[in-house]
Chain A
C-alpha cells in the first residue's frame, strides 16, 4: 500500500461511466422540461459520488466499492421474450428499455412511461430522501415502463406481469400502479436478463381506500448484472398490500422497500425469499412507516446463502406518534449452506406511539445435523436430504400466500434454483 499517495477523490470507473453515459444519451431521453430538470438534478448528485459504507443506509452495501462495472447501453441488444411466472398472466414487457405495445385489459388504463414523461405526467421522479440513490439513478436514466390505473371497484381476474428485461448493457425502467378504491389486482414484477448489465427499476404503488394489491417481485438477474430497485407504496384507509419478493440472481442487488401506511386500518404483508449463491451480494432494505392508527404489518424473510454469497436485510419500522394500536411483526431467518456465505441483518424499530405491539427477531442457522441424519437413515442421499430441508425452510413463506397457482409457480422457481445451486 502506498501510504504517501495524496490523490484527491477521483471518480471510480463506474461513476465515470454513469456521468459519461448520461452525457451521451441525454438528448435521446424522453421527457418535458420538468423531467429534464429532474434528470439533471439527479445526475448532479450522482456526480458527487456513489455512497460508501459511511452512509448509514448503505452501511452493508458499499455501493461505491461494489458497483465495479457499468457497461454502456446497447441499443442493438436483442432481448428474447420471457414466459410469465403465473401461466395466465397478461405480459407488459419492457425490453432493453423500451415498452412493447400493451394488451388491452378490461378495467385497467395502461400508459407507457415514455409518453407520461413526455407529457410531464410522471409525478414521482424525486428521491424520497437524501440517500435515495436508487431513485436518482433511475430518474436520471429512465427510458420507459408502464403506468397502470385500475378503476374503482374493479376486481381484475387476470394477473399482470410487468417485465424489465435486458440482454446486457443498461436498462432503467419505471412502473406505476394506482389501485382505485375497492379494487383488487395481482401484479408480478419480473426483473431478468442475461450478461453484464446495470439494471434499475422503480415501482410506485398507490393502494386507495379498501383496495387490495398483491405484488410479487421475481428477480432472477444474471450473475454479471447489478440491479438497483425500489418498490414504494402508499396505503389508503383499510387498504391491503401483500408484497412478495424473490431474489434469485444478480451480482449486486439492492431491493428497497418503502411503504407508508398512511391510511387508518391498512395492512401490509411482506414475504421474502432470498436465494443467494456464487459471489452475489443481495441487499433488501425496508423502511416501513406506520403513520395512521390501527395499522398492521408482518414482515417475514427467509434466506438461503451458499458459496461466497452475501446477503443483507435492513428492516426499519417507524411508528408515528398518532399511529396507536399499530401491530407490527418482523422476522428474518437465514440458513447458511457454506462456511463462506454470510448474512447481515439490521432490524430497527422507531416507535413514537405508546399503545402498540411491535416485535422483531432474527436467526442465522445451519442445516440441522440431526434432521439430516434422520432423512439419510431412511435412504435419502445427502444432497436430496439437504434439498428437502432447505425447501421446507423456505416453503413456509411461500405457502402463506395461500393461493395454489401462485404457490405452485413460486415453488417451481425454488426447484429451479436448487437444480442449479443446491
Chain B
C-alpha cells in the first residue's frame, strides 16, 4: 500500500536535510511501528507523507497504491485516504469543531463520489464516534482544539480518523500526553479500525503504546533513515537496551 523509496527530504526554508535515504514498505492490513529517538525525523516523515509544504523532497519517491503522491497537495492526499494524526494538533480559533467536521467529512464524501451527509445524519455519526472515545459532545461546539487539554486533542484526532475512514493512517506519537485510561480508549479506537484493506504507521517514542496496538512490523528510525527492522520483539529489545545500542550498531 505504501512504498517509500530512498526518500530524501529537507526543510524548505534553510535546506537542512532531515530524511536521508529512507526506505519503508507497508502492506494493506499491516500495522507498522516506527520508533526512534527524539529528533530522528519521525514527525518530519509524517509531514512529508501528508504533503506539508515546509519540506521538500529532493530524491526518491513515495508510492501509494503504486502511484507517486509527491505532486499531490495535502487535501488531495487526504481525499485518497491518507490521514495524519498530529503529534501536536493545531488550535484553530473561530472554526467550530462541529462545523469543521461537517466540511471535512463532506469533502471526503465528495471526493469519493458519495452524497453529502445531512446535518442530522452527521450529528448522529459524530455522537456515536465520540461516545466510543468517551468524548463529550459539548466539546465539539468549541473552536477546533482551542483550549482542549493534551489528551482531548489526541482524542479529537482519533475521532477525526474514525469519521474520515482513511486507508492509510499515520499516527504521530498519539500516546504522548495520554494517561493509561485514555491510552486504552484511544488504542481501542485504533484497533477497531484495523482491517485487511487499511494500514497503520504508528510512530512512537516508547514501547508502551505497542502493548495496546500490537504491530506487525517495527522499524527503527535514526538520523532520517530506517536502521533496523523486525517484528514486535524489536520493540521490547529497544525498551530494554535503549536506542543507543541499535543506533550505534547500525552506524
Residues of chain A whose beta carbon lies under 8 Å from any beta carbon of chain B = 369-371, 373-382, 384-385, 388-389, 391-393, 395-396
Chain A residues lying within 8 Å of B74, measured Cβ to Cβ, are 373, 376-377
Assembled-state Cα–Cα distance A369/B52 (Å): 10
Contact across chains for B78 and A388 when beta carbons are under 8 A apart: no
Beyond A373-B53, A373-B74, A388-B100, whether A378 also contacts B92 by CB under 8 A is no
Chain A residues lying within 8 Å of B94, measured Cβ to Cβ, are 389, 391-393, 395-396
Contact across chains for B50 and A377 when beta carbons are under 8 A apart: yes
Beyond A385-B75, A388-B100, whether A378 also contacts B95 by CB under 8 A is no
Contact across chains for A384 and B100 when beta carbons are under 8 A apart: no
Question: A-facing mask of B30-62, CB < 8 A → 1, else 0?
Answer: 000000000000000000001111100000000
Give A273 Cβ to nearest chain B Cβ, in Å.
13
Contact across chains for B111 and A379 when beta carbons are under 8 A apart: yes
Contact across chains for A379 and B95 when beta carbons are under 8 A apart: no
Contact for A388 among B77, B83, B89, B95, CB less than 8 A: B95
Chain B residues lying within 8 Å of A388, measured Cβ to Cβ, are 95, 100, 103
Contact for A379 among B86, B90, B92, B108, CB less than 8 A: B108
Contact across chains for A382 and B103 when beta carbons are under 8 A apart: no
Chain A residue with minimal CB distance to B145?
A: A374
Contact across chains for A373 and B111 when beta carbons are under 8 A apart: no
Chain B residues lying within 8 Å of A392, measured Cβ to Cβ, are 92-95, 143
Assembled-state Cα–Cα distance A305/B238 (Å): 53
Contact across chains for A377 and B84 when beta carbons are under 8 A apart: yes
Q: List 22 A-B contacts (CB under 8 A).
A: A369-B53, A369-B54, A370-B90, A373-B53, A376-B78, A377-B50, A377-B51, A378-B100, A378-B107, A378-B160, A379-B75, A379-B78, A379-B107, A379-B108, A379-B164, A380-B104, A382-B75, A385-B75, A388-B95, A389-B92, A389-B94, A389-B95
Contact across chains for B164 and A375 when beta carbons are under 8 A apart: no
Chain B residues lying within 8 Å of A379, measured Cβ to Cβ, are 75, 78-79, 104, 107-108, 111, 164
Give B229 Cβ to nearest chain A Cβ, in Å.
27
Give A370 Cβ to nearest chain B Cβ, in Å.
6
Chain B residue with minimal CB distance to A395?
A: B94
Chain A residue with minimal CB distance to B81?
A: A379
Verify if B197 is at the interface (C-beta below 8 Å from A). Answer: no
Question: A-facing mask of B99-139, CB < 8 A → 1, else 0?
Answer: 01001100110010000000000000000000000000000
Give A264 Cβ to nearest chain B Cβ, in Å.
36
Question: A-facing mask of B181-195, CB < 8 A → 1, else 0?
Answer: 000000000000000
Beyond A384-B103, A393-B94, whether A374 also contacts B86 by CB under 8 A is yes
Given A374-B89, A374-B92, A377-B74, 6 more A-B residue pairs with CB atoms under 8 Å apart are: A371-B90, A373-B53, A373-B74, A379-B78, A381-B107, A385-B75
Verify if B73 is at the interface (C-beta below 8 Å from A). Answer: yes
User: How many of chain B's residues have a CB under 8 angstroms from any CB in A?
Assistant: 29
Chain A residues lying within 8 Å of B83, measured Cβ to Cβ, are 377
Give B96 Cβ to nearest chain A Cβ, in Å.
9
Contact across chains for B100 and A375 when beta carbons are under 8 A apart: yes
Assembled-state Cα–Cα distance A385/B95 (Å): 10
Contact across chains for A380 and B92 when beta carbons are under 8 A apart: no
Assembled-state Cα–Cα distance A396/B93 (Å): 9
The 6 lowest CB-CB distance pairs between A and B, nearest first, are A392-B94, A379-B78, A376-B74, A378-B104, A376-B75, A379-B107
Give A193 Cβ to nearest chain B Cβ, in Å.
32
Chain A residues lying within 8 Å of B75, measured Cβ to Cβ, are 376-377, 379-382, 385
Chain B residue with minimal CB distance to A387?
A: B103
Beyond A369-B53, A374-B86, A377-B78, whether A382 also contacts B92 by CB under 8 A is no
Assembled-state Cα–Cα distance A382/B76 (Å): 10
Give B176 Cβ to nearest chain A Cβ, in Å.
18
Give B181 Cβ to nearest chain A Cβ, in Å.
27
Give B162 Cβ to nearest chain A Cβ, in Å.
13
Chain A residues lying within 8 Å of B77, measured Cβ to Cβ, are 377
Assembled-state Cα–Cα distance A381/B52 (Å): 14
Chain A residue with minimal CB distance to B47?
A: A373
Assembled-state Cα–Cα distance A391/B99 (Å): 12
Chain B residues lying within 8 Å of A385, measured Cβ to Cβ, are 75
Assembled-state Cα–Cα distance A376/B90 (Å): 12
Assembled-state Cα–Cα distance A381/B75 (Å): 5
Give B154 Cβ to nearest chain A Cβ, in Å.
14
Chain B residues lying within 8 Å of A381, measured Cβ to Cβ, are 75, 107
Contact across chains for B78 and A382 when beta carbons are under 8 A apart: no
Assembled-state Cα–Cα distance A382/B90 (Å): 17
